[in-house]
Amino acid sequence: MTEKQHVARERTLTEPTFAELVQAMNVDDWASALSVVEDAVAIRPEEVNFRVVPADLLFHKMHDMRPCRLRMLVTEGARLRKPSPLRCQDAAAGGN
């Protein structure tokens, strides 16, 4: 599969979810927006764009900063964290 085909395939898979998300966000229905994103993450856990949205919704829109939510996001982020090639190069060069 070429890069162009891969991008088109990814777009086809993610556009319906983003459309649903935008619709909920346009009417300030944050609970529905969060539900859409949580479903999307469950279906496509490798899609990074879906993983950052729950934190934004919880903290900036819903103002839900309960420790259990914070712990869930941190744990999930740590579980999925992959070493960045750039970070490894920086570390090898003496940076952080």
> For the whole model, what pTM was predicted?
0.61
pLDDT at residue number 57: 83
- Measured between alpha carbons, how far is 17 from 91 in angstroms, rounded to an integer? 37
pLDDT in tens, 49-90: 777 787 788 777 877 777 666 677 667 666 666 554 444 344
User: How many beta carbons lie within 10 A of that of residue 89, not counting itself?
Assistant: 10
pLDDT above 50: residue 3: yes
How many angstroms separate the Cα of 70 from the Cα of each of 32, 36, 52, 55, 79?
20, 19, 13, 9, 14
pLDDT above 80: residue 2: yes
pLDDT at residue number 73: 67
